[in-house]
Amino acid sequence: MPDTALPPTIPTAPVTPAILESLRAIVGDKGLIADDQGKQPFVTDWRGSIVGNAAVVVRPANVEEVSKVVKLCHDNGIAIVPQAGNTGLMGGATPWPSHTGIVLSVGRMNKVLNVDPVGYSMTVEAGCVLQTLQETAASHDRFFPLFLGAQGSCMIGGNLSTNAGGVQVLRYGNARNLVMGLEVVLPNGDIWNGLRALKKDNTGYDLKHLFMGAEGTLGIITKAVLKLWPAAKDVATAWLAIRDPQAAIEILSEAHGASEDNVGSCELMSRTCTDMVLRNIPGTQDPLKADTEWFLLLEWTSARPKAEGAEGMAEKMEQFLADQMEAGRVIDAVIAQSEAQARNMWVIRESVAPASRAEGPGLSYDISVSISKVPEFIERGLKAALDILPSIRPYPLGHIGDGNIHFSFMGPKGMDRETLKQYSPAITRAVNDLVTSLDGSISAEHGIGIDKLDELSHYRSRIELDTMRTIKRALDPKNIMNPGKVLRI
Ligand SMILES: Cc1cc2nc3c(=O)[nH]c(=O)nc-3n(C[C@H](O)[C@H](O)[C@H](O)COP(=O)(O)OP(=O)(O)OC[C@H]3O[C@@H](n4cnc5c(N)ncnc54)[C@H](O)[C@@H]3O)c2cc1C
């Protein structure tokens, strides 16, 4: 839970009436939101747990306008919070309550500029909604492999700035692996044009990687050249009741070969997590009524269409699941027989975050360890949390193929947010100490934002923190670009 009571030092230069008029001259009336009601969704984070402040929300229509707005802010020492879809879960896109500057939303910059199906790339503006990009790629018989629960509203600028993960990382890598080039407005307003559709480019430091995962602290991503892949032609999706997390990693390990390297996704769900979704999300159906604490959502995809009479993904998977049952890892399983059945499985997986919101206050840790250590982490982590608060209700899940567990808890029945908050520091310390002792990461895919500011400085070495601060100070000496996020400067 964020500690907004102890904000870092951030620039407090005000947006004066004269500066407001200069902003209006750059972006026009359409690009400014200054009334409290209009600003509300831009200063409140997705979870509703942080409500910040901003003098005005600025919505430029193109990179030239972004550049002029940033230059104006730079010259006047005004802090900027870049924002895309505002679905981030660490408070990175939400201004601090003490913020006196602007929110710069890229939502109006939402054009697909070019699709090159032969070269397997597309060039897009930062405000394109992720799902639109998936659909655009599909309409050219191509695949853009970034999939996550918020895809209907998150935007590619935010995805790249958080180096988002999701359910295809196992095969295609994180967001940063899906990018060939970027255009970025630097904190002084300069435009860096690195929009190169190149697979190979060893010309000094690879600057694009500085901005991806920087959570808007080093500049504003305005365009990107994204990589595409062939569209899937043969898909098998299955819901498996499994013995335990150890069985999960063994199943995945065997699945790579059995699928001929076609594992697309492998998602671990606890029984408590599945039940929470079924309870809160209308229309979802339990794919398999099995007596177990653990499930796997396994998907194999091939770009090769199934030939008449030949074995396809489903047949290969059927044989594989039979072998895994024989080995005692799988208790029961169902392969989706229709798109609707596959969709139901995915809706269960993708609805965990909205379902948890409906359950009331909770705690969640987005951690990673090496895949083989996942079972040990889950067992020891559950014990550590339950030792501190025995009535807390765990619902772990995760992208197990990435060693990434969303180690999540509903508060004890009837416990209010403030009371739960009192237990949060002890549980956080126990979980993150355990992660660190297993050589893992305290933030696998959601980033640092406001929420993990202090955790990052606790767990990262002085050398790492100093190197990050050196980069930040070099690019943003006035500390105007998303100040007080990721690092305390
Ligand atoms: C239901 C749900 C499911 C989710 N599932 C996943 C998941 O599986 N994997 C995962 O990784 N995340 C997940 N998330 C978290 C979130 O969706 C991702 O972090 C997403 O990438 C954020 O995109 P956004 O457009 O909403 O960015 P925002 O929330 O607007 O911004 C995120 C960060 O990027 C910065 N930023 C935004 N745009 C720019 C820009 N153009 N230039 C520079 N900085 C910018 C912001 O300042 C902020 O620090 C989930 C969230 C929800 C609500």
Q: Are 52 and 96 in contact (CB under 8 A)?
A: yes
pLDDT in tens, 341-353: 999 999 999 999 9
Give the mean model confidence (pLDDT) for residues 238-267. 97
**Confidence band, pLDDT 50/70/90 cuts, at residue 309:** confident
Examine the pLDDT at 156 and tell me if it is beyond 60.
yes
393 vs 46: CA distance, rounded Å: 22
- The pLDDT score that the predictor gives to residue 11 is 93
Identify the band that residue 489 occupies on the pLDDT scale cut at 50, 70 and 90.
confident
Bridging pattern class, strands 294-302 and 234-242: antiparallel
What is the model's pLDDT at position 59?
98
What's the topology of domain 112-230? 3.30.465
Q: Distance between CA atoms of 418 and 303, rounded to whole angstroms? A: 50
Q: Distance (Å, rounded) from C-alpha 139 to C-alpha 135?
A: 6
Ligand 1 geometric centre to CA of 35 (Å): 25
Q: How far apart are CA 298 and CA 242, in angstroms?
A: 12
Residue whose CA is closest, atom 9 of ligand 1? 166
Domain ranges of the chain: 112-230, 234-352, 360-446
Question: Ligand 1 centre from 230 Cα, in Å?
Answer: 26
Does 360-446 match 112-230 at the fold level? no
How does residue 49 score in pLDDT terms, banded at 50, 70 and 90? confident
Give the pLDDT band (50/70/90) at residue 1: very low
104 lines ligand 1 (CB under 6 A): no
Instruction: Give the C-alpha separation, 240 to 296, whole Å.
Output: 5
Ligand 1 contacts CB of residue 161 (under 6 A): yes
Between helix 339-350 and helix 271-280 the angle, nearest 10°, is 100
Average pLDDT, the chain: 96
- Looking at residues 369-377, what average pLDDT do you find? 98
Nearest CA to ligand 1 atom 27: 158
Find the 156 Cα to ligand 1 centroid distance in Å. 8
Largest CA distance in the chain: 74
Mutate to test the pocket of ligand 1, among 10, 63, 87, 399 (most ligand atoms within 8 A of CB): 87
Over residues 146-174, mean pLDDT = 96
Taking the C-alpha atoms of residue 68 and residue 76, their distance in angstroms, rounded to an integer, is 12
Which CATH class name applies to 234-352? alpha beta
Question: What is the sign of the dihedral through the CA atoms of 459, 464, 102 and 195?
Answer: negative
Our mutation pick for probing the ligand 1 site, out of 83, 184, 397, counting the most ligand atoms within 8 A of Cβ, is 83
The pLDDT value recorded for residue 9 is 82
Provide the pLDDT confidence category of residue 6 given band limits of 50, 70 and 90.
Answer: low
Across residues 178-189, what is the average pLDDT? 98
Could you confirm whether domain 360-446 is CATH 3.40.190.180? no
272 CA to centre of ligand 1 in angstroms? 26
pLDDT tens column, 76-94 = 999 999 999 999 999 999 9
pLDDT at 173 over 80: yes
What is the structure's pLDDT at 5?
Answer: 54
**Would you tell me how many other CB atoms lie within 10 Å of the CB of residue 414?**
8
351: its two tokens: 């609805």
Indicate the residue type of 51: V
Q: What is the pLDDT of residues 421-469, one digit of tens each?
A: 999 999 999 999 999 999 999 999 999 999 999 999 999 999 999 999 9
CA of 146 to the centre of ligand 1 (A): 12
Question: CA-based Rg of the chain, rounded to a whole angstrom?
Answer: 23
Confidence (pLDDT) at 289: 87
pLDDT given at position 66: 98
Q: What is the mean pLDDT of residues 245-259?
A: 98
